[in-house]
Amino acid sequence: MTTTPDRPSRRFRKRWIVWILLAGWAGVAVWNSVKPMPPGTNMSTPAVALASQDVRFLSDLTYADPQGQLVYEQQIFDAVLRIVDESESFVVADFFLFNDLMGAAEGVHRPLSRQLADKLIARKAAKPSLSILVITDPINDVYGGARSALLEEMRRAGIEVVVTDLQAMRDSNAAYSSLWRVFAQWWGNSPQPGSMPNPFDTGPSRVTLRSWLALLNFKANHRKLVVADRSDGTLAGLVASANPHDASSAHSNVALQITGAPALQMIESELAIARFSGWTRHIYAASPEAAAGVDPNDAVNVSFITEQAIRAHLVKSLDATRNGDSVRIATFYLADRKVIDALLNAANRGVDVRLILDPNKDAFGRQKDGVPNRPVANELVTKSGGKIQVRWYRTHGEQFHTKLALITHANRLTASLGSANLTRRNIGNYNLEANLALEANLSSALAQQMLGYFNRLWNNEGATAAGTEFTAPFGAYADTDKVRYWRYRFMESTGLGTF
């Protein structure tokens, strides 16, 4: 005769099963939020003194003339293409967005993805011994759900293309990503058409549900850089906020181009990323000779900083400021709480803090509601009693995609620029990011050029003659909505957002 367990006993077992499942979910979430960073990441290399002529500040700007026609001033990808043209034995490039997908945007200012791919393919054909390594993010093949014709074309031309293994990275969206790791990642993906719309294209193409499930992890190899050697034995490197992405081609951006030893450190970091993503080959780059006779009064000290080291560098520089110093930040996203606290503290010490922010209203033809920049700007202006000043870049469908911090202290300029937005995801050891940090005499031509860039936008220099404005006053997008503010705080702290 068989007996069945009584009902309380079954309920007791069910509770234990639920608790075990919750503990497993929490364990996966916690581990993948704090696990060791992969090789080549979270780097802060020793500063190297470069001659001023070996460091170039570059910028792209889009603005409207008096008739409402857009004006484009672009330097960055002309420099990228020139670096490829001058490459001798290798090129290493790492770009987050490398595609011609347009989202809901209609016009293309410049087919950047095609231009860079054609340049790489042509250089490989002209120099078959040239090693070209392109590292990119799985967003370009919709996380395995749609083959990128551009990347396939480069592979056929003998260019090595590595798609970053994002699973090796920490999870910023831990609550969701832990479920994805346990239940969804094992199914892989298929480039065959699926049942879901392509999240990056309004055309008829369809992708699988698995592409969307991977997308919701909200993490990326967000770097934007290129490095190559030249026939004279020097190394050229460029770190930017710009992508070779057609829909981004009108964005305003900044970059720093260098010649010298920091480029070698960039290569070492990139090769480590390629290796943990499955690449097994090697590129040999000779160590460049130290620049001889660099005048200390003219030297620019440059270091390569990545991921959380970008935040550490910025916060340390902000904390060192005193009454009479200045902070000038121009950025697409500002949301990180440690940076916000450091800005407020600096303002309370009498530091002159000025911010130029994107109003967060445009995203590839779609409208946004100003999160996070508008609620953050209101917090900074209000809590500082107006000591922190904010202006908004006047966008026209494109984005003010710049990521630039300039800090003057005594007679020195400290700067950081590159791929990293000032958000938890970008500078908290979640995304892969790359910046160059520099220090130079405040009176140097480079320092004056970089500060001049900011001042031109802040003061609308030339606006009277040109009949246009680069930036609008804080009141143009002031936002006191408490719901949006607390939504930003929730999204920033949990990773449940795209910034």
In a domain, 349, yes or no: yes
- Whether residues 68 and 209 fall in one domain: yes
CA distances from 455 to 28, 336, 470 (A): 47, 24, 11
Q: Which residues form the domain of 126?
A: 50-276
Domain shared by 197 and 334, yes or no:
no
Are 143 and 106 in a shared domain?
yes
Q: What is the pLDDT of residue 461?
A: 87
Q: Give me the number of domains the chain comprises.
A: 2
pLDDT of amino acid 6 = 66
Note whether residue 257 is domain-resident. yes
Is residue 56 in some structural domain? yes
Same domain, 255 and 310: no
* Nearest CA among 223, 222, 219 for reference residue 496: 219
121 in a structural domain: yes
65 part of a folded domain = yes
495: left (phi over 0), alpha (psi -120 to 50) or beta: left
In a domain, 153, yes or no: yes
Same domain, 345 and 203: no
- How many CA atoms lie less than 13 Å away from 189 in the CB half-sphere? 23
pLDDT at residue 66 in the model: 80
> In this structure, are 256 and 397 located in the same domain?
no
State whether 172 and 258 are in the same domain: yes
Residue 488, φ and ψ in degrees, nearest 5? -60, -45
For the chain, 499 residues long, give each residue's pLDDT as a single digit of tens: 455 556 667 776 778 888 888 888 889 999 999 999 999 999 999 999 999 999 999 999 999 888 788 999 999 999 999 999 999 999 999 999 999 987 666 777 899 999 999 999 999 999 999 999 999 999 999 999 999 999 999 999 999 999 999 999 999 999 999 999 999 999 999 999 999 999 998 888 899 999 999 999 999 999 999 999 999 999 999 999 999 999 999 999 999 999 999 999 999 999 999 999 999 998 887 777 666 677 777 899 999 999 999 999 999 999 999 999 999 999 999 999 999 999 999 999 999 999 999 999 988 878 899 999 999 999 999 999 999 999 999 999 999 999 999 999 989 999 999 999 999 999 999 999 999 999 999 999 999 999 999 999 999 987 555 567 899 999 999 999 999 999 999 999 999 988 9
What is the reported pTM? 0.94
Beta 55-64 vs 160-163: how paired, if at all? unpaired
Q: Is residue 3 part of a domain?
A: no
In a domain, 10, yes or no: no
Residue 109: φ, ψ to 5°: -70, -40
157/298 Cα distance (integer angstroms): 43
Q: What is the CATH number of the domain that holds 173?
A: 3.30.870.10
